[in-house]
């Protein structure tokens, strides 16, 4: 039987004024931490990520070292370019699993863009990457 990550119950409520969103990995997005890192002893991290008003995506090829990464688009749209499947637009209701190490970049997104992202481990590495 595989080992089970120690976990605790975690509930996260959104702040009515949006003050729980902070600038994070990408300067054109704001991130709301959902508390998964603490609840799973660092096994996972989860964020709601939204577009920052007046900011545009800054395409930059990069990779993430993960054992799992997925997104689910809640509102709007986002254009990604992946080394293995090319350019794709994800819209509300779309999901995507990112293989560890896949080169990709954000090309553009709508001003109302919002997504849920879940990644394992919580402290994953991001690296700049050459164009494929």
| 73-114 per-position pLDDT tens digit | 999 999 999 999 999 999 999 999 999 999 999 999 999 999
CATH number, span 22-128: 2.60.120.10
Sheet of 104-109, strands arranged across: 86-91, 77-82, 104-109, 62-65, 125-128
**Three-state DSSP state, 103:** coil
Residue 69, φ and ψ in degrees, nearest 5: -150, 130
- What's this model's pTM, rounded to 2 decimal places? 0.91
CB 33 within 8 A of CB 49: no
**Three-state DSSP state, 84:** coil
| 28-84 per-position pLDDT tens digit | 999 999 999 999 999 999 999 999 999 999 999 999 999 999 999 999 999 999 999
CB 10 within 8 A of CB 36: yes
- In whole angstroms, give the CA distance from residue 90 to residue 115: 10
């Amino acid at each position: 039987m595989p080992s089970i990550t120690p976990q605790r119950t975690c509930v996260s409520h959104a702040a009515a004024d949006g003050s729980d969103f902070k600038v994070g990995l990408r300067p054109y997005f704001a991130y709301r931490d959902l508390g998964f890192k603490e609840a799973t002893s660092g096994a996972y991290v989860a964020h709601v990520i939204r577009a920052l008003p007046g900011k545009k995506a800054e395409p930059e090829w990069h990779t993430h070292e993960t054992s799992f990464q997925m997104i689910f688009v809640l509102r709007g749209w986002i254009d990604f370019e992946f080394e293995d499947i090319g350019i794709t637009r994800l819209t509300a209701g779309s999901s995507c699993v990112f293989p560890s190490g896949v080169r990709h970049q954000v090309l553009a997104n709508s001003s109302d863009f919002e997504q849920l992202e879940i990644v394992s481990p919580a402290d994953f590495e991001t690296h700049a990457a050459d164009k494929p």
